Amino acid sequence: MKNLFSLNELTVEKIEYLLDLSEKLTDLSEFENIKKITNDKLVCNLFFEPSTRTHYSFEVAQNRLNMKIISFDSVNSSMQKKETFYDTIKTFDSFSLDLLIIRCSENEFWKQFDCEIQTPIINAGDGTSEHPTQSLLDLLTIKKEFSGFSGLTVGIIGDIVNSRVAHTNIETMQRLGIKVLLSGPLEYIPVLNLNDFPNAEYIPFPEILSKCDVVMMLRIQHERHLHKCCLEKSEYNKNYGLNSKNFSLLKRNAIIMHPGPVNRGIEITDELVECEKSRIFEQMKNGVFVRMAVICYLLSKI
Ligand code: CP
């Protein structure tokens, strides 16, 4: 496999292999074997949209793998002289690098290149479409908590229509046998009308909270909304967010997840972000192991 654009390209067995490898890499002694594959390999991180977790956890992963890192800075690049995304990627491809990590606001950005890019690419999030490494780190967090996926129910709540994390997770979790429930303001869930996810049931909020082993809250993506959010911050939280009042509805062993960045006080109140049920920072930690595993997997050309 040369690129990772979408988890749809991977069989369930390959996804499980990547999760096992990620888990193995939590043990520092495993680094030595794996570094042979990645030592001194040249990687460029091209982020055309802002990112903290994905960009810098890739960079941490690359440092741990002894790779040589080039970080592209679009603000000081020739994109300021109107060079296109296409020509920018073609330029980096011409440098004979070993790997490109790309985040971009265009859905399925790779389709414009046909077969012309020689360098392997990992999709670090494309528009509202896919976020494969986020989904893997979410799955790793769930697997470590529940020792597998069998019989689990995950509730995804909030701005689903604009969330690449939700799109990748709904499909992948269902393939792994997880039951997926959706909730939030109906205007954020038009996928239901389009029957894009026929197996993902809509449950009104807050009823959904008592039905899930994993409650995944999503950020309202204000930057992707043409119109301002229909509800004010406190109103949104009262109607669709986690707070100290509806927290008691959660199952005893349920965990709270959020891909970040968190709008504290909107989809989740401040005091719950780091509560004992929250795995939000554990997700970020797992992001490094998952990204190490994906890089090794691609560079070892399995
Ligand atoms: N979860 C996620 O993709 O966060 P960043 O936008 O900070 O990378």
Say what the pLDDT of residue 254 is: 98
Say if residue 20's pLDDT is above 80: yes
Least confident of 43-47, 73-77, 278-282: 73-77
Distances (CA, A) of 261 to 50, 148, 191, 220: 11, 26, 23, 10
Say if residue 146's pLDDT is above 80: yes
Is residue 289 domain-shared with residue 261, that is, in the same domain? no
Is residue 219 domain-shared with residue 109, that is, in the same domain? no
Q: In angstroms, what is the span from residue 154 Cα to ligand 1's centroid?
A: 20
Is residue 147 domain-shared with residue 269, that is, in the same domain? yes
Domains held by the chain: number: 2
Is residue 89 domain-shared with residue 146, that is, in the same domain? no
Q: What is the pLDDT of residues 176-232, one digit of tens each?
A: 999 999 999 988 886 555 466 667 889 999 999 999 999 999 998 776 665 555 567
Structure tokens at 166: 């939700």
Is residue 172 domain-shared with residue 34, that is, in the same domain? no
The separation between CA 175 and the C-alpha centre of its own chain, rounded to angstroms, equals: 17
Q: Quick check: is 194 in a domain?
A: yes
Is residue 159 domain-shared with residue 259, that is, in the same domain? yes
Distances (CA, A) of 36 to 63, 289, 291: 14, 17, 16
Say what the pLDDT of residue 195 is: 60
Say if residue 123's pLDDT is above 70: yes
Region 161-168: mean pLDDT is 93
Q: Quick check: is 257 in a domain?
A: yes
Is residue 252 domain-shared with residue 268, that is, in the same domain? yes
Say what the pLDDT of residue 258 is: 98
Structure tokens at 102: 């790309």
Q: Quick check: is 254 in a domain?
A: yes
Say if residue 64's pLDDT is above 80: yes
- In the DSSP assignment, the letter for residue 160 is -
Cβ atoms of 248 and 191 within 8 Å: the answer is no
Nearest atom within ligand 1 for CA of residue 50: 6
Q: Quick check: is 268 in a domain?
A: yes
Q: Quick check: is 1 in a domain?
A: no
- Using a 10 angstrom Cβ sphere, with 0-12 exposed, 13-18 middle and 19 or more buried, the burial of residue 275 is middle
Q: Quick check: is 53 in a domain?
A: yes
Say what the pLDDT of residue 189 is: 80
Measured between alpha carbons, how far is 116 from 123 in angstroms, rounded to an integer?
A: 16
For 190-225, b where at least 16 C-beta lie within 10 A, e where not — what string?
A: ebbeeeebeebbebebbebbebbbbbbbbbbbeeee
Is residue 176 domain-shared with residue 237, that is, in the same domain? yes
Q: In angstroms, what is the span from residue 46 Cα to ligand 1's centroid?
A: 14
Element (H, E) at 54: helix 53-64
- Using a 10 angstrom Cβ sphere, with 0-12 exposed, 13-18 middle and 19 or more buried, the burial of residue 261 is exposed
Element (H, E) at 94: helix 85-94
Is residue 159 domain-shared with residue 231, that is, in the same domain? yes
Is residue 28 domain-shared with residue 90, that is, in the same domain? yes
Ligand 1 binding pocket includes 107 (Cβ within 6 Å): no
Task: Give the residue from 143, 277, 156 showing the smallest Cα distance to 209.
Answer: 156
Q: Quick check: is 83 in a domain?
A: yes
Q: In angstroms, what is the span from residue 125 Cα to ligand 1's centroid?
A: 8
Q: The domain spanning residue 31 has which CATH number?
A: 3.40.50.1370
Ligand 1 binding pocket includes 169 (Cβ within 6 Å): no
- The residue segments making up the domain with residue 260 are 132-279
Structure tokens at 116: 């012309």
Region 27-50: mean pLDDT is 89
Distances (CA, A) of 26 to 4, 55, 145, 195, 287: 22, 20, 15, 39, 11
Is residue 139 domain-shared with residue 123, that is, in the same domain? no
Q: What is the pLDDT of residues 216-270, one digit of tens each?
A: 999 987 766 655 555 677 889 999 999 999 999 999 999 999 999 999 999 999 9
Q: Which band of pLDDT confidence, cut at 50, 70 and 90, is reported for residue 301? A: confident
Nearest atom within ligand 1 for CA of residue 52: 7
Say what the pLDDT of residue 225 is: 67
Between these two residues, 125 and 30, which has the higher pLDDT value?
125
Q: Probe ligand 1: pick from 45, 46, 49, 54, max atoms within 8 Å of CB?
A: 54
Is residue 146 domain-shared with residue 120, that is, in the same domain? no
Ligand 1 binding pocket includes 125 (Cβ within 6 Å): yes
Q: Quick check: is 2 in a domain?
A: no
Least confident of 81-95, 141-155, 213-227: 213-227
Distances (CA, A) of 167 to 42, 182, 237: 31, 11, 23
Residue whose Cα lies nearest atom 3 of ligand 1: it is 54
Nearest atom within ligand 1 for CA of residue 131: 3
Ligand 1 binding pocket includes 134 (Cβ within 6 Å): yes
pTM listed for this prediction: 0.94
The pairing of beta strand 42-47 with beta strand 99-104: parallel
Say what the pLDDT of residue 216 is: 98
Q: Which band of pLDDT confidence, cut at 50, 70 and 90, is reported for residue 33? A: confident
Work out the percent of the chain whose per-residue pLDDT is above 90.
Answer: 82
